[in-house]
Structure 1
Amino acid sequence: MRLYMHYLAIQFKSQMQYRTSFWLLTVGQFFIPFSVFAGLYFMFERFGQVQGWSFYEVALCFAVIHLAFSFSECFSRGFDAFSTLVGSGDFDRLLVRPRTTALQVLGSKFEFTRFGRLLQSCLVLAVALIHLPVAWTAAKAVTMLLMVTSGVMIFTGIFMLAATLCFWTIEGLEIANIFTDGGREMAQYPLNIYQKWVTVFFTFIIPFGCVNYLPMLYILGRADGNGILYMLTPLAGFAFMLPCVLVWQFGVRHYRSTGS
């Protein structure tokens, strides 16, 4: 962790060398998801509800997934930009250092301008929680924390899988955006508004539904059956991370230098 924090400090200092650019990008990142949220607001202004879900309930769903994505984009950007390390041959240098490659790739790039997106998500979350009649308990507070943390794990795992493909393709594949950007857009709504195959895929394969929809039912008091099971569903995000790490290690073992 000391080394990771050192990476953070170096990257932050380097990005603050151009402060005007940094703050303009941060403000821009604040307004990018704001336009999406505005579209969400106007939709509910017109139709009132969607499949029995109110505006503030969907706003809670929106805030959780965007919070998770913002954290992942900020701190896992190294995997998202991994193709540049492979293409330039710089990944070879990481292999001879006495630290794990995953830690070094994580520390190779941070996007602190994503704090603008993070702030916007926090504001939406605050507005949603103020207007929702939730009887808060310690268990529900822990569930909320698990929802965001689990979402970070899922997005980071997808970034890691996409980075692993670069060992064979050299260049990054845009197909990964289907599951990152597409997954974020899909998961900002409750899963039960989609067709059944979508619900199954994003619950048991890429468990976005375990990040917001199922635990949100518990927080809102709409869960059927044992509430503890709904509370623990975010742990699926941590379970999803395990095979992603194993796939990454497999890719590292089979890496052949580009010769750059």
Structure 2
Amino acid sequence: MGALPLFFRLVGASVGGQARYPASALLLTLGQFLGSGIEVVAVWALFHRFGEVQGWGIGEVALFYGLVNCMFAIADALGRGFDVLGTEFLRTGAFDRLLLRPRPLALQLMGHDFRISRMGRLLQGVGVLVFATFQAHIAWTPATVAVALFALAGGIALFLGILVLQGTLAFWTVESLEIANVLTYGGVQAAQYPLALYANWFRRVLTFVVPLACVAYYPALAILGKTDPLGAPEWVGVVSPLAGFVFLAAAFGVWRLGLRRYASTGS
């Protein structure tokens, strides 16, 4: 069986297992939808109070919010296996079984626990994108759709890379560290707002260290047809999502270093 059919088979088995308890799956999905909905209310309250924030309207910020939450929802569903690597695989010795199978290790982890509840955040992100379309009068041409899809793919790669790094830490700590949430959930929070609102040092972090701006801010400017107040050329938003794939490749490089350190628990 090829890698891709195997992945879909693993995902199907995971989804099928969750579908045995439809009420639970529905409530978890609804919880994700409503939980992230509190963030939407907070953003709305901010702009309802001040109208605009440094020249940015609610429709434009809604585009950032929608894009970032769609990216993260899909990456979070795919990367659950890396998130629980320490507790469910390394500590129990189940990781050895994965190593013995003649299939890509990362693929097995990605298909291990595909959480359909994450679709609650995805649906909410899509809903906010629809709101942004009308509020900011976005013209969805083939070019802007292509930029949005490329940004989405780059963002999924970036957040998946963060989850891979989180899993890699477990080779040293066994436990999953909460500090990794600074990059995942904290990254989502930071990327929901325009880069121009942050201090210079934080802009550099979001551009060159954890390139969230490259998958959200610059592509959103290209979609909106808005000039970057920080002075970046217009073409940057078209190519910047590549940074997400570079980050993922670097994360897997660190992952391979962690694998070399792994020693079986013997259980």
- Superposition TM-score, scaled by structure 2 size: 0.94
How far 1:94 sits from its partner (Å)? 0.8
Match of residue 256, structure 2, among 241, 249, 255:
249
Match of residue 170, structure 1, among 161, 171, 174:
174
Match of residue 79, structure 1, among 68, 74, 82:
82
Match of residue 190, structure 2, among 186, 189, 200:
186
How far 1:229 sits from its partner (Å)? 2.8
Task: Indicate whether 1:210 and 2:214 are aligned.
Answer: yes
How far 1:58 sits from its partner (Å)? 0.3
**Structure 1 CA distance, aligned partners of 2:29 and 2:90?**
28
How far 1:241 sits from its partner (Å)? 0.8
Amino acid at match of 1:67: C
How far 1:225 sits from its partner (Å)? 6.7
- Unaligned regions of 5+ residues in structure 1, if any? none
Instruction: Give the structure 2 partner of residue 49 of structure 1.
Output: 52
Q: Would the aligned equivalents of 2:81 and 2:113 in 1 still touch at CA under 8 Å?
A: yes
1:179 alignment partner, SS class: helix
Instruction: Give the structure 1 partner of residue 40 of structure 2.
Output: 37
Instruction: Give the structure 1 partner of residue 242 of structure 2.
Output: 235
Amino acid at match of 2:161: G
CA offsets 1:105-157 (integer angstroms, 9 cap, x no match): 11111111111111111101011012223344322111111111111111100
Which moved further from structure 2: 131-140 or 231-240?
131-140
**Structure 1 CA distance, aligned partners of 2:220 and 2:194?**
9
**Structure 1 CA distance, aligned partners of 2:139 and 2:104?**
44
2:235 alignment partner, SS class: helix
**Structure 2 CA distance, aligned partners of 1:135 and 1:5?**
34
Q: Would the aligned equivalents of 2:63 and 2:129 in 1 still touch at CA under 8 Å?
A: yes
**Structure 2 CA distance, aligned partners of 1:136 and 1:110?**
31
Root-mean-square deviation over aligned CA pairs: 1.2
Q: How does 1:1-260 map to 2 (within 5 A)?
A: 1-83=4-86, 84-223=88-227, 226-260=233-267
Percent identity over paired residues: 41
Runs of 4+ residues over 4 Å off in structure 1: none
How far 1:214 sits from its partner (Å)? 1.1
Q: Would the aligned equivalents of 2:218 and 2:236 in 1 still touch at CA under 8 Å?
A: no
Amino acid at match of 1:231: V
**Structure 2 CA distance, aligned partners of 1:155 and 1:230?**
18
**Structure 2 CA distance, aligned partners of 1:109 and 1:82?**
11
How far 1:252 sits from its partner (Å)? 1.2
How far 1:226 sits from its partner (Å)? 4.5
Amino acid at match of 2:253: L
**Structure 1 CA distance, aligned partners of 2:255 and 2:11?**
22
CA offsets 1:203-231 (integer angstroms, 9 cap, x no match): 00110000111121122122357533321
Q: Number of residue pairs matched?
A: 260
- Superposition TM-score, scaled by structure 1 size: 0.96
CA offsets 1:56-97 (integer angstroms, 9 cap, x no match): 100110111111111111121111111121111100111111
